[in-house]
Amino acid sequence: MTDKCRPIGFFDSGVGGISVLKTAHNLMPNENYIYYGDSKNAPYGQKSEEEIKQLSLDAGKVLFGYGVKAIVMACNTATSAAVKIMRQKYNIPVISMEPAVKPALDADGKVLVLATPATVSQSRYNVLLRRLHAGEKVINIGCGGLVELIEDGKTDAKTINRYLDGKLKVLGNEDISAVVLGCTHYSFVEQHIRQYMKENYNEGCKIFDGRQGTANQLKHILQNKDLVCYNAPSKVEFVTSGDPSTIQTYQELFDSF
Ligand code: DGL
């Protein structure tokens, strides 16, 4: 394999980053990809910053072992805690993600950011909010428990609506015009969240996430570093720290997303 066609490594705590992988694959179908889902350690979003740092370094090591040419941290939680240390440790491009608050701020009413408890409490995210002068326009909700439902495949409308009923009660009558999906897992239940917001808050509520921005950034960096692979067909491979039989689920989620 030529240097340029080495795989691009993606990782997340579990299945969430597959939504980002699929977006990147749509944009760059000739690249080779390897996806590492750290399902054994999911969810990251309820762990300490130090634990998330260590898990991210471990995930980077697994991907590095596959000879990847770049690493995509397909996880907002891991980015918040560990992007700096990942860039110090690995001498290849490390692409990260953060909640897509910036484009959502154009909305007329308030912006609701749904992310993991770790992301909304970490300083990197709060620095971002200050930099964007988000002020009171942004309401953050740490969605403990939602990643677990998605990891367990409990993604039917009834289950997600019940979850949102409980979690969003605190919003009262707020006028929510935009929702930011600040965790890559949530893209797998985006349709339910969209419908719920329409029915309960605002018919025109818009949904934002960082998938396309991250894929565009990856492409830009590969072009700049002369690392684009033009060979077809490409290969997409999945590995997990969890039960190896779940690889089939990874593949199905990738195919159907
Ligand atoms: N999918 C990850 C994110 O974007 C985190 C999920 C977790 O809590 O493990 O933040």
For 43-57, the pLDDT digits (tens) are 999 999 999 999 999
Q: Which amino acid, residue 179?
A: V
Q: Are the CB atoms for 99 and 113 separated by under 8 Å?
A: yes
SS3 45: helix
184 in ligand 1 pocket by Cβ < 6 Å?
Answer: yes
Q: Let me know if 5 is a catalytic residue.
A: no
Mean pLDDT of 116-132: 96
pLDDT (0 to 100) of residue 231? 79
Predicted confidence (pLDDT) per residue in 187-224, tens digit? 999 999 999 999 999 999 999 999 999 999 999 999 99
Q: How far is the CA of 1 from the centre of ligand 1 (A)?
A: 32
Predicted confidence (pLDDT) per residue in 63-122, tens digit? 999 999 999 999 999 999 999 999 999 999 999 999 999 999 999 999 999 999 999 999
SS3 95: strand
SS3 63: helix
177 in ligand 1 pocket by Cβ < 6 Å?
Answer: no
Q: Quote the DSSP letter at residue 14.
A: S
Mean pLDDT of 11-21: 98
Domains of the chain, first to last: 3-97+211-256 (3.40.50.1860), 101-208 (3.40.50.1860)
pLDDT (0 to 100) of residue 2? 72
Atom of ligand 1 nearest to the CA of 16: 1
- 189 vs 178: CA distance, rounded Å: 16
Torsion of CA 25, 29, 35, 39, to 10 degrees: 40
Q: How far is the CA of 171 from the centre of ligand 1 (A)?
A: 23
pLDDT (0 to 100) of residue 117? 96
Active-site hit among 75, 143, 205, 229: 75
pLDDT-based confidence at 1, cuts 50/70/90? Answer: low
Q: Let me know if 229 is a catalytic residue.
A: no
Mean pLDDT of 157-183: 96
Q: Are the CB atoms for 70 and 218 separated by under 8 Å?
A: yes
122 in ligand 1 pocket by Cβ < 6 Å?
Answer: no
Q: How far is the CA of 54 from the centre of ligand 1 (A)?
A: 15
Q: Are the CB atoms for 109 and 136 separated by under 8 Å?
A: no
39 in ligand 1 pocket by Cβ < 6 Å?
Answer: no
183 in ligand 1 pocket by Cβ < 6 Å?
Answer: yes
- 225 vs 146: CA distance, rounded Å: 37
Contacts of 222 (CB under 8 A, 6+ apart): 8, 28, 31, 69, 70, 93, 228
Atom of ligand 1 nearest to the CA of 186: 1
Pocket test for ligand 1, best of 21, 47, 181, 183 (most atoms within 8 A of CB): 183
- 49 vs 57: CA distance, rounded Å: 12
119 in ligand 1 pocket by Cβ < 6 Å?
Answer: yes
How does the average pLDDT of the chain come out, rounded?
Answer: 96
Residue 70's closest CA among 119, 16, 5? 5
pLDDT-based confidence at 233, cuts 50/70/90? Answer: confident
- 211-224 and 18-27 are packed helices; what angle lies between their axes, rounded to 10 degrees? 50
Q: Quote the DSSP letter at residue 7.
A: P
Predicted confidence (pLDDT) per residue in 97-114, tens digit? 999 999 999 999 999 999
Q: How far is the CA of 195 from the centre of ligand 1 (A)?
A: 22
- 180 vs 140: CA distance, rounded Å: 9
Cα 113 to chain centroid distance, Å, stands at: 13
**Percent of the chain residues past pLDDT 70, beyond the cut:** 100
Atom 8 (ligand 1) nearest CA: 45
**pLDDT at position 232 over 80:** no
76 in ligand 1 pocket by Cβ < 6 Å?
Answer: yes
